[in-house]
Amino acid sequence: MPPPATPPPATLPPATLPPATPLPATPLPVTPLPVTPPSATPSPAMPSPAMPPLATPPPDALLNLHGLTRDELRALIVSWDFPPVHAARLWNYLYYEAVAALDAAAMPDIPARLMERLRAECTPDVLPVAHEAQSADGFTRKYLLTLPGGSRIETVLMRFTGRVTACISSQAGCAMGCVFCATGQMGFTRHLTAAEIVAQALHVQRILKAQGERLRNVVLMGMGEPLHNYDAVMRACEIMRDGSGLALGARKITLSTVGVVPGIVRMADEASPIHLAVSLHAATQKERLALVPAARRWPLDQLIDACRYYVEKLNRRIFFEWTLIDGKNDTEAHARAVAKLLSGMQAQVNLIPLNPTSGYGGAPGRTDAAKKFQSILAACNLPSTIRQPRGIDIAAGCGQLAAEG
Active site residues: 154, 398
Touching ligand SF4, residues 141-160 (CB under 6 A): none
**258 belongs to the binding site for ligand SF4 (CB under 6 A):** yes
- Judged by CB under 6 A, the chain residues 364 through 403 that form the site for ligand SF4 are 399
Range in contact with ligand SF4 (rule: CB under 6 A) among 32-40, 123-131, 174-182, 389-397 = 174-182
Collapsing DSSP states into helix, strand and coil, what is residue 140?
strand
Measured from the CB of residue 181, what is the shortest distance to ligand SF4 in angstroms? 3
353 binds ligand SF4 (CB under 6 A): no
Q: How far apart are CA 71 and CA 76, in angstroms?
A: 9
The residue whose Cβ lies closest to ligand SF4 is 184
Distance CA(377)–CA(348), nearest Å, equals 10
H or E element, residue 186: helix 182-186
* Alpha carbons 102 and 100: distance in angstroms, whole number: 7
Residue 183 vs 374, nearer CB to ligand SF4: 183
Q: Which of 99, 158, 176, 237 binds ligand SF4 (CB under 6 A)?
A: 176
Closest CA to 169 of 256, 280, 298: 256
Does residue 183 interact with ligand SF4 by CB under 6 A? yes
* Residues 175, 190 contacting (CB under 8 angstroms): no
Judged by beta carbon, residue 252 or residue 281, the one nearer ligand SF4 is 281
248 binds ligand SF4, rule: CB under 6 A? no
Which of 2, 18, 124, 184 is the binder for ligand SF4 (CB under 6 A)?
184
Burial class (CB in 10 A: 0-12, 13-18, 19+), 174: buried
Nearer to ligand SF4, 187 or 344 (CB): 187
Cβ atoms 199, 375 nearer than 8 A? no
Compare residues 174 and 382 and give the one whose CB is closer to ligand SF4: 174
Q: What's the DSSP call for residue 364?
A: B
Closest distance of CB 143 from ligand SF4, Å: 17
- How far apart are alpha carbons 50 and 293 in whole angstroms? 32
Is residue 291 part of the contact set for ligand SF4 (CB under 6 A)?
no
Q: Whole-angstrom Cα distance, residue 30 to residue 145?
A: 22
Q: Is 354 in the site for ligand SF4 (CB under 6 A)?
A: no
Which residues pair with residue 185 across a beta bridge? none
Q: Judged by CB, which is closer to ligand SF4: 314, or 401?
A: 401
Least separation in angstroms between residue 32's CB and ligand SF4 is 13
Count Cα neighbours of 168 within 13 Å in the Cβ-side half-sphere. 32
Residues in contact with ligand SF4 by CB under 6 A are: 174, 176-178, 181, 183-184, 223-225, 258, 399
